[in-house]
Amino acid sequence: MTRCFSILLTILAYTLLSTGFVFMKKGIVWIGYKGEKDKTYYRNLFTWISGFLLINIFIVPNTVALRYLDPHIVSSIAGWGVVFMVFLSHALLKEKLYSSDFSYSALIFISIIFLNLYENQEGGMTVNIPLLTIMALLPFFLFVPVFINSISKRIKTIIYAAVSGISTGMIIVTMKVLVSLRGFHVASYFSSPYLYLYLLFSLTAFISLQVAYKKGVMMLVGPVQYSAAIIYPVLCSYLIFSNRIHFIQLAAILAIVYSVISILKKH
């Protein structure tokens, strides 16, 4: 029951995150608004603020779920968030739906089911600190090529998007370590280095994504960012936490990544 409840919490978390993105997009016109600050202005401002708050509270149910779920499970359920965002955008923003959205959404649902059916719940948790250090440093080393003038703008965009995705994945990993070691004793989090790693990766993910959007287009940035955010925690689960991942689960994760990329490219 605890596991099922944690899965529901993760679905709730990505529902909140996707709703937040759509609300911010719907209310974004308040920035640079010209004219009298009337009801339309304040309605858009309220919608944008609501979206911003939803994006920032999604980590709460995710953190609770990470007490009982491994990072590769939590990160893969992000595929549901993409599905929800597309259909909510259609409802609120009148964005177009494609027939392929339904088939890819079905593939994501089926993949999430298989991902959980083949999950091997092992007692206890081990953390490989040297590998955790290496995996935490990798996204910052990826920044090096962006300072090389000969590197194209497209490649730099991909790098920023990848760093944002990897950092998003590391948010899940650091929170997994934190709640596993400290439980839900929130006051004790402030004495743990993992809280500050979480904050560092949160900031890195946000800034890198904004730079990627400024340099490139959504069709390029979105698939790279989401793919990295899903795949990196899978690697961390195997390397850092020594979790055994069934080949059916790997196939399910790849199907989720493929479906997410296909949906985002259409939109």
Q: What is the pLDDT of residues 118-169, one digit of tens each?
A: 777 665 668 889 999 999 999 999 888 888 888 888 888 889 989 988 998 9
Neighbour-count burial of 99, counting CB atoms closer than 10 A to its CB (0-12 exposed, 13-18 middle, 19+ buried): exposed
How much is the pLDDT for 121? 63
Give the C-alpha separation, 204 to 164, whole Å. Answer: 7
**113 and 174 share a domain?**
no
**158 and 228 share a domain?**
yes
What pTM does this model have? 0.82
How much is the pLDDT for 163? 93
Q: Write out the residue range of the structural domain in which residue 30 sits.
A: 1-121
What number of other Cβ atoms are within 10 A of residue 230's Cβ? 25
**91 and 204 share a domain?**
no
Residue 207 lies in a domain: yes
**184 and 238 share a domain?**
yes
Cα 139 to Cα 62, 136, 147, 201, 224: the distances in Å are: 22, 7, 15, 9, 14
Mean pLDDT value across residues 243-250: 85
What average pLDDT does the chain have? Answer: 85
Give the C-alpha separation, 61 to 10, whole Å. Answer: 6
The SS3 assignment for 97 reads coil
Is there a contact between 54 and 17 (Cβ–Cβ < 8 Å)?
A: yes
**112 and 26 share a domain?**
yes
Number of domain units in the chain:
2
Between the CA atoms of 219, 54, 168 and 245, what dihedral angle is there, to the nearest 10 degrees?
A: -100
Give the C-alpha separation, 163 to 138, whole Å. Answer: 9
How much is the pLDDT for 241? 86
Give the C-alpha separation, 201 to 120, whole Å. Answer: 28
In the numeric block, the tokens 């959007």 are attached to 213
Q: Does the pLDDT of residue 105 top 70, yes or no?
A: yes
Residue 262 lies in a domain: no
Structure tokens at 156: 């730099």
How much is the pLDDT for 23? 87
pLDDT digits (tens, 9 = 90+) for 212-228: 877 766 566 777 888 88
pLDDT digits (tens, 9 = 90+) for 162-189: 998 899 899 999 999 999 888 888 889 9
Between the CA atoms of 8, 14, 16 and 20, what dihedral angle is there, to the nearest 10 degrees?
A: -170
Mean pLDDT value across residues 199-222: 80
pLDDT digits (tens, 9 = 90+) for 22-76: 888 788 777 777 777 778 888 888 988 998 899 889 889 998 998 888 888 888 8
Domain final residue pick, 69, 89, 121: 121
**195 and 219 share a domain?**
yes
How much is the pLDDT for 42? 86
